[in-house]
Each structure stands twice: as structure tokens, then as C-alpha cells.
Amino acid sequence: MNTLYHTYHESPLGTMLLTGTATHLRGLFFVGQKREKPVPAGSIEGDAPFKDVLRQLDDYFAGKPVTFDVPLEMEGTPFQKTVWKALQAIPRGQTITYAQLAKNIGNPNAVRAVGLANGCNRISVIVPCHRVIGANGSLTGYAGGLERKRWLLDVEQGGVLTGLGACPSSE
């Protein structure tokens, strides 16, 4: 069994919790967000396993164009993993609707299931579920809160950086 690690990291949007192994990121949450997973039992606290992702996150939050290249270990159903892979294909600064995402995975009738899978994403920012919007163009459903979703979309679209005044995983 792989040793588990965790660390906390300050971002312009609040404290983030990172979890993973020495080689793979398993979770990236805003502390206090909906569906935040607890620190894995027996995990070791420390930044060392996360040095690359922490650097990339700091660059991202500074508004720099970043291509996240950290290895991910996503735990979920095959359908969830398909949705999460499709999320990673949405270009920075662009948004799509849940219906477009369902069409992109070849299952245009699965809009509600796509929305549920999107909401179960455990690696925020890097697996950009914040880039999915409602059919009418409105910001909808983000576990980290709509203020954070708006901020993330603004920074990706070159906006001014300003501060902000449990899903099943069985196969």
C-alpha cells in the first residue's frame, strides 16, 4: 500500500487541502467546501510530495498560463472518470454547458448524470469542473461556492485578480 500524504496550502481563495501519495495527487479541496473529504487516516503531513503541484497552483493563481502536469489518481466509477477526463479537455478560459459535456462524452441524454459526476470531482481547479455552466449561461453548482467559481473563470479569462470579500466512489 502506498503511503498517504496531505498538506494545506494558502490560495487567494482560501486554504486548500491536498491529499495523495508520493507520486500522485488524489484530492484538492477548498477547506470547508461541500463534499470536502477528510484528511486520510494515517496520512503524513508535509509539502514535499506536492512541490510540483504547489508551484503550478501558485502560478495559476497569479494569473500565469499553466498546463497542469501532475499525475492524478482519480477514484470513481468508470462513468465519473470519463466525465472528469472530458473536463480536462475544456480549454482554459472557456466554458461549456452540462449538455455540451454530455455530448462530448458521446452520451447526450446523460445531462443529469454528467452534472452529478461533475459535482463529485475531487480535484478542483486542475480538473476544471468550474468551467461547466448552466444552459442559460449562468454560473451553477460549484462545491467551492459560486464566488470561487466566478473568480476562477475571471482569472482564466484574464480578469483582474481580486480577493473574495459525499460522492460514492465504488466501481
- Would you name the residues annotated as active-site residues? 129
Q: What is each CA distance from 23 to 42, 56, 97, 113, 140, in whole angstroms?
A: 17, 15, 33, 30, 33
What is the C-alpha separation between 109 and 88, in angstroms, rounded?
Answer: 21
Residue with cell 446523460: 110
Q: CA 19, CA 24: separation in Å to the nearest integer?
A: 9
Cβ-Cβ contacts under 8 Å for 30 (sequence gap 6 or more): 11, 13, 14, 15, 16, 17, 36, 124, 143, 144, 145, 148
